[in-house]
């Protein structure tokens, strides 16, 4: 994950908030993050009606992404880490990935076939990462795009879609082209991760 390299430099954005949430269950933060991802999908879907929907979607995605990082920061800071919390976090990450991409796919700016490609590529990349752990190796986060990379890409694309709105490139909106990119990149990354894992298996 490319953005993993920037985590140490951005930790201050989480620590200040995390220190004030001693009595908050990290799992609650995880679920709120997922709820915001659902709202993002709904807002993106209605984006064709008014630009305000896309603007709202952009901020919802920022909120969801921030909370997705905050839950782990709270758990680590107050020794609330657990296998149940780790399971819930990764489970809702996958559901969030699906609803975010699904919302973009079925929106006015999306494309069904491109969306299927994006969802499949994303899930295969994630699957290989967790399957590595299932056979006794470390969970794989390497390669591009990782989840953080993907969320940042979608944030940037949402901004571009706001400013281009009805402009298409070879008949498709920037949202559709992004789905193609995420799908292809996801499959490429799944192969990259699979090679790393396969070489490590005895």
Average pLDDT of the segment spanning 5-15: 64
Count of the separate structural domains present in the chain: 1
CATH of the domain at 138: 1.20.120.1760
Greater model confidence, 110 or 12: 110
How far is residue 30's CA from residue 175's CA, in Å, rounded to a whole number?
A: 26
**Residue 65, helix vs strand vs coil:** helix
Confidence of residue 151 (pLDDT cuts 50, 70, 90): very high
Task: Judge whether residue 10 has pLDDT over 80.
Answer: no
In which domain, by residue range, is 107 found?
A: 2-200
At 16 the pLDDT is 83
Overall pTM > 0.85: yes
Which of 122, 120, 104, 121 lies closest to 172 in space, CA to CA? 104
Question: In 3D, which of 145, 149, 154, 157 has the Cα closest to residue 190?
Answer: 145
The DSSP string of 67-113 is HHHHHHHHHHHTT---HHHHHHHHHHHHHHHHHHHHHHHHSTT--HH
The encoded tokens of residue 52 equal 């305000």
């Amino acid at each position: 994950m490319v953005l993993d390299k920037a985590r140490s430099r951005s930790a201050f954005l989480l620590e200040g908030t995390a220190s004030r949430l001693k009595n908050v269950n990290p799992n609650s933060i995880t679920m709120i993050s997922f709820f915001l991802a659902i709202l993002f999908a709904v807002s993106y879907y209605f984006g064709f009606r008014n630009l305000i929907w896309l603007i709202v979607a952009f901020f919802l995605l920022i909120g969801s992404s921030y909370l997705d990082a905050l839950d782990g920061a709270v758990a680590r800071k107050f020794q609330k880490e657990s296998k149940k919390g780790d399971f819930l976090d990764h489970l809702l990450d996958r559901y969030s990935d699906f609803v975010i991409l699904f919302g973009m796919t079925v929106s006015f700016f999306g494309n069904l076939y491109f969306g299927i490609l994006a969802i499949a590529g994303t899930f295969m990349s994630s699957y290989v990462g967790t399957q590595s752990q299932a056979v006794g190796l470390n969970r794989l986060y390497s390669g591009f795009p990782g989840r953080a990379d993907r969320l940042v890409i979608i944030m940037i694309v949402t901004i571009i879609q706001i400013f281009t709105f009805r402009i298409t490139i070879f008949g498709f909106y920037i949202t559709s082209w992004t789905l193609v990119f995420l799908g292809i990149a996801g499959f490429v990354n799944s192969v990259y991760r699979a090679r790393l894992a396969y070489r490590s298996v005895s």
